[in-house]
Chain A
Amino acid sequence: MGLLSWVGRQALVFSETLGEFALFTYRAFLGVFSGVWSRKDLLEQLERVGANSVFVVSITSAFTGMVMAVQTLDQFVRFGATSYIGGVIALSMVREMSPVLTGLVVSGRVGASMAAEIGSMKVTEQLDALRTFGLDPNVFVGVPRLLAGLVMLPVLTLFSFVIGIGGGFLYVSAHGINPHLFWRSVEALLNPSDIYGGLLKAAVFGLLITISACGQGFLTGQGARGVGTATTGAVVWGNMLILVFNYILSSVLFGGIKG
């Protein structure tokens, strides 16, 4: 009976959270065109999501690129396929590693802080104050954050491609692989559609991160504990949604056997 009621409660929380996300997304998308929100806030959010994440995304991407080179170099040398190393690293970075890692990093860094900020605004009645001025918090607070996620995640991901492939290049060229061979294989294996696919994924992840962060912020319960729960929830939901949607998008964009 205890287990059953626990499962029931979790199912209720799960559906309430998804419902809040859907409602927020609907109101915010309508509000982009017809609602009142601050362009100045949008610039601040672009800086918060984009510029302020560059360092951590750079470090993550550079070392991921290098680790991929570490893992592939030995195997490719063994099978005499060193001329493919650059292309394989580039493809992995562009299609999967850069969008997913950038998404996870931004979710942890920015999603958590957005949820905490909106949660604190709710607890201190700042969201109610916005409503008394005739503004919809979903739009006024949500739209700049949503747009910042949508715009800056692809920019950061593009940045991550370059840094990640650069990291891989540094490792393999330090281990005697001809640089010319590395870049020629990148050119040969990487198509523009891979880059577009990776950027599309990043844009979707940007939306998912900000929807989770804002949705959890608006759902915040009472007091400091409520803010803490919302912050954790934003990261857990953001990461979970990124991984689920990554599978779906990878299947749609890159799935199947291409002849």
Chain B
Amino acid sequence: MQGVSVGFAGKKIIFNIDMTLMSGEVTCLMGPSGSGKTTTLRLVAGLLKPHEGEIRLLGKTINSETDEDELIDIRRELGVVFQGGALFDSMSVGQNIAFPLRYCRNITEEETISSMVLDMLEHVELGDVREKFPSELSGGMRKRVAIARALVHSPELLLLDEPTTGLDPITARHIDQLILDLCRKFGFGVLVVTHDLTSALGIGHHLLLMEEGVISWRGPSRDWSTSDHPGVRRFAEGMISVQRSGGSGE
């Protein structure tokens, strides 16, 4: 991603962003609400086109001139997990996970699809919940199913929008571990958009801090705690003060 800017209704949301995602590594994009994290993820996912700059992804370039057909080809090579999971609620879990196989990979053999779905459910540590509907699952299970659906067609890059938001701390750490394990096992690059600092420090090889549409800090996760950058301190202190006001007793 090089010099990318985007805006809506004449107002710029993202300014001149550079970012590199590496295979087999997890990059966490952090920042307060409204800082432009999700918009950045949507740019990488090919759901938005940059107004300025370009994104080089899987040997193709996305810029303001890229047409929809090229974007469709790029999107099919990515796995995206949306904040709420975005599971199709009219379909069973099995049908949800089979969806990318049918429409991104054009697999039609039911036996192949069924075994790949079961295999993927095992990878995300869910039993055979193929017949259940998303409304019958807990929040953590829905996130796992969403991750399974995003990975079943073997994407080159996994993009996750707030994967731990709304989950209890134990389930959130399980999801973190799952993301790390899958990244190691399959070797794809991962971009996680989050404001959960614990999660980012736990799984991120690289961290990026976004404030008001600009990446204000970047570095390996080990450098976060020693950084003097005011944005980093502000974000970290914000997290601590929220924990204190929540009654942690510190």
B72 at the interface (CB under 8 A from A): yes
- Binding site of B, secondary structure by majority: helix, strand, loop or mixed? loop
Complex Cα spacing A125 to B45, Å: 13
How many whole Å from A25's CB to the nearest CB in chain B?
A: 18
Complex Cα spacing A58 to B230, Å: 70
0/1 interface trace, chain B 61-83, chain A, CB 8 Å (1 if under): 00000000000110110101011
A12 at the interface (CB under 8 A from B): no
Q: Which partner residue on chain B sits nearest A123 by CB separation?
A: B84
- The one of B42, B87, B103 that contacts A134, using a Cβ cutoff of 8 Å: B103
- The one of A124, A128, A129, A133 that contacts B76, using a Cβ cutoff of 8 Å: A133
- Report yes or no: B104 in contact with A129, Cβ–Cβ below 8 A: no
Q: Which partner residue on chain A sits nearest B42 by CB separation?
A: A128
- Report yes or no: A125 in contact with B84, Cβ–Cβ below 8 A: yes
Q: Which partner residue on chain A sits nearest B68 by CB separation?
A: A136
A126 at the interface (CB under 8 A from B): yes
- Report yes or no: B84 in contact with A129, Cβ–Cβ below 8 A: no
Interface residues of A in 100-139 (CB under 8 A from B): 124-126, 128-129, 131-135
Q: Which partner residue on chain B sits nearest A41 by CB separation?
A: B90
0/1 interface trace, chain B 42-53, chain A, CB 8 Å (1 if under): 100111000000
- Chain B residues in 8 Å Cβ range of A124: 84, 86, 89
- Chain A residues in 8 Å Cβ range of B80: 128-129, 132
B188 at the interface (CB under 8 A from A): no
0/1 interface trace, chain A 181-213, chain B, CB 8 Å (1 if under): 000000000000000000000000000000000
Complex Cα spacing A125 to B103, Å: 18
B88 at the interface (CB under 8 A from A): yes
A36 at the interface (CB under 8 A from B): yes
How many whole Å from A210's CB to the nearest CB in chain B?
A: 17
- Report yes or no: B82 in contact with A125, Cβ–Cβ below 8 A: yes
Complex Cα spacing A125 to B83, Å: 8
0/1 interface trace, chain B 10-47, chain A, CB 8 Å (1 if under): 00000000000000000000000000000000100111
- Report yes or no: A131 in contact with B75, Cβ–Cβ below 8 A: yes
- Given known pairs A125-B82, A125-B83, the reply for A132 and B88 (CB within 8 Å) is no
- Report yes or no: B86 in contact with A129, Cβ–Cβ below 8 A: yes
- Report yes or no: B73 in contact with A129, Cβ–Cβ below 8 A: no
Complex Cα spacing A124 to B135, Å: 13
- Report yes or no: A135 in contact with B103, Cβ–Cβ below 8 A: yes
- Report yes or no: B104 in contact with A128, Cβ–Cβ below 8 A: no
Interface residues of A (CB under 8 A from B): 36, 124-126, 128-129, 131-135
Interface residues of B (CB under 8 A from A): 42, 45-47, 72-73, 75-76, 78, 80, 82-84, 86-89, 99-100, 103-104
